Amino acid sequence: MCKPLVYMNKILLFLLTTCLIVSCASTKSEKKQKPNIVIIYIDDLGYGDVSCYGATAVQTPNVDALAKNGIRFTDGHCSASTCTPSRFALLTGSYAFRNNAAILPGDAPMLISSSKATLASVLKNAGYTTGVVGKWHLGLGDGKPNWNAEIKPGPAQIGFDYSFLIPATPDRVPTVYIENQRVVNFNSNDSISVSYSENISKDATGLAHPEMLKMQADSQHGGTIVNGISRIGFMKGGHQAYWKDEEFATVLNNKATEFITQHRQKPFFLYYSMPSIHVPRAPNARFVGATKMGARGDAIVEMDWMVGKVMEALKKLEIEDNTLVIFSSDNGPVLDDGYTDNAATLIGNHAASGIYKGGKYSAYEGGTRVPMIVYWPNVVKPDESNALISHVDLLASLAKLVGEDINKNNATIDSENMISVLLGRSKEGRKLMIEEAFTTSLRSGNWKYIAPFNGKAPEWLKNKVVATGLQATAQLYNLEDDPKENHNLVEQYPDIVKKMATQLQKIIEKK
């Protein structure tokens, strides 16, 4: 008489065990739904500077591996053809002109308000640990940073839990690392001062002592000499904290992989903003001579190695499958940017912007059309996408991915949710997209309208060998027929010019 009861108990036990296993599996599955997010943001890397986008004079196997196993975008754009505006747009989801964001000096105040939503703050709200490693160039402090104490506001005030920074650019003072908003290796007996208007130090400058330089520089880069390289601006003190340019790759990679390792148990967001291949180009000795293009080509190889080490860390920690990696650049390429490193004379047949005209500082496509790769094993299928997409869209897109509603606080008016495009589920990109330079352009499908430029270009820009696209009259190009923007169609299509000019103005005036 007891056997049926025994059998019933066994059945109940089996069902309970099955439910528990399914529940645990479901919990694990839910945990994996929020991926780690790594944005690898390169500096001054052009559309044609990596081999998966056509380069032959330099090989980039680690970047190529991301492209081979992810989505390679052919119409992906940073929002501006210069660094600070692009970085502002990427982190805030707002076009830089809304904040009058321009290229900042090294002692500029913090550009992003602590009240503004950022990629870091949105992801932090979603349970992510957030970190930034590398070039910052978004200002620090509230006007005149005190480099000898905690520097506030900074990354922590806009959502980053951890930061290890090159405060501005490698060619600007202060030439020190800043970790969690304090100068690394700071010596109170050698306090730091910075000036962009006058020489405040007895230290040698490039203008006064060119014989001390590893590489000659123009007058703009003729300030304080650090590590045999003269910089923009003047710096007093902080000698013990000086960086060595040749150590960027190892120092920054160590910090990036340490952050990944420490936070591998829960979702993390890492904004890895590499200084490569910005001037001054001083790659580590192991990469010198890696190409026939001199320091610029060798710096590209070094950058590729850095990417490989990050991916190696993700694999070793067995978290690669649950990590979304986005690789791109903050603007198009520049060869001669203040230092005599022979980049222009040694370039040979290498086309840094690919088939596109212009580069850094330019309103033409080479200014903002950059390599853009999305990689996420077993989620993103290998493909090529011609969808029109901008880095300004990353905030809305990643917010959607992690379930954050940014619209409830009107966090951004420019960022569009393109997560289906980023993950390869759609190739329907933007209908309209702004490209910022010293003038403003509008993309609408294959049509590109460049607004007239009535301002005054900076003196230093006039000496650059770059097609800037700055003209007093409007320009219109059909990129399908004329990707090199050689044939201005303003007179042939006045109705399209008028329509796009109106659309551009509406976006600019949008609130």
Could you report the per-residue pLDDT of 20-55, keeping only the tens digit for each?
444 444 444 344 569 999 999 999 999 999 999 999
Instruction: Supply the CATH classification number for the domain 35-187+240-430.
Output: 3.40.720.10
Higher pLDDT, 456 or 451: 451
% of the chain beyond a pLDDT of 70: 92
Looking at 295-416, which runs of residues are DSSP E strands?
323-329, 372-375, 383-385, 389-390
- Torsion-angle region of residue 476: left (phi > 0), alpha (psi -120 to 50) or beta? beta
Cis peptide before 170 (omega within 30 of 0): no
* Cα 197 from chain centroid (whole Å): 29
Q: What is the pTM of this model?
A: 0.93
Predicted pLDDT of residue 408:
60
Task: Dump pLDDT digits (tens) for 81-99.
Answer: 999 999 999 999 999 999 9
Average pLDDT, whole number, for the chain?
Answer: 92
Cα→Cα distances 28→16, 52, 266, 404, 475, Å: 18, 36, 12, 21, 54
Query: pLDDT-derived band of residue 101, with 50, 70 and 90 as boundaries?
Result: confident
Distance set, CA 140 to CA 168, 182, 195, 210 (Å): 9, 11, 14, 31
CA 247 vs. chain centroid, Å, equals 20
Using DSSP's 3-state secondary structure scheme, residue 428 falls into coil
> Residue 78 and residue 96: Cα distance in Å, rounded?
11
The C-alpha atoms of residue 281 and residue 343 are separated, in whole angstroms, by: 10
pLDDT digits (tens, 9 = 90+) for 324-345: 999 999 999 999 999 999 999 9
Size of the chain in residues:
511
Taking each helix axis as running N to C, give the angle between helix 394-402 and helix 83-92, from 0 to 180 degrees, rounded to the nearest 10: 30
The mean per-residue pLDDT over the stretch 365-391 comes to 98
Max Cα separation, the chain?
A: 105
Q: How confident is the model at residue 18 (pLDDT cuts 50, 70, 90)?
A: very low
Spatial distance between the Cα atoms of 490 and 357, rounded to a whole number of angstroms: 18
Q: For the chain, what percentages of helix, strand and coil (3-state, to nearest 5) are there?
A: 30, 15, 50
Q: Where in the chain is the domain with CATH 3.30.1120.10?
A: 436-509
Question: How far, in Å, CA of 300 to CA of 287, rounded?
Answer: 9
CATH 3.40.720.10 residue ranges of the chain are 35-187+240-430
- The rounded distance, in Å, linking the Cα atoms of 85 and 367 is 12
State the architecture of 436-509 in CATH terms.
2-Layer Sandwich (3.30)
Query: Residue 511: pLDDT band by 50, 70, 90 thresholds?
Result: confident
